[in-house]
Amino acid sequence: MKTLGDTLKKAREEKKLILRKVAANVDIDQSLISKFEKNERKPTMEQIIRLAKFYNLSESDLIINLYSEKIAEELKYTQSTFEILKVAEEKIKYYKAQENGKQ
């Protein structure tokens, strides 16, 4: 399974770009981009959007990858992972229904 960092590194390598060039084009420090690619840091939402546009990648796919990694990292040592995810999904549906009712 490819990580977000793997996806970003592959996109850069396919365009045959060095980190410095990417950094200059997306206005993100090259050492930070390197940490993203090594999975040492996670990009912000704004950085994800800039990188997606620059590499011509699906913004949605990168965002899904980002959040799924954050959730997996948080829950990887938890015994009740699937129950937690199921309840979280139900809560999200509830929150969205509440939001829709208020508007």
- pLDDT tens per residue, range 23-75: 999 999 999 999 999 999 999 999 999 999 999 999 999 999 999 999 999 99
Q: Which domain holds residue 96?
A: 4-102
CATH number at residue 83: 1.10.260.40
Q: What is the 3-state secondary structure (H, E, C) of the chain?
A: CCCHHHHHHHHHHHCCCCHHHHHHHHCCCHHHHHHHHCCCCCCCHHHHHHHHHHHCCCHHHHHHHHHHHHHHHHHCCCCCHHHHHHHHHHHHHHHHHHHHHHC
How many angstroms separate the CA atoms of 91 and 95, rounded?
6
pTM above 0.95, yes or no: no
Number of structural domains found in the chain: 1
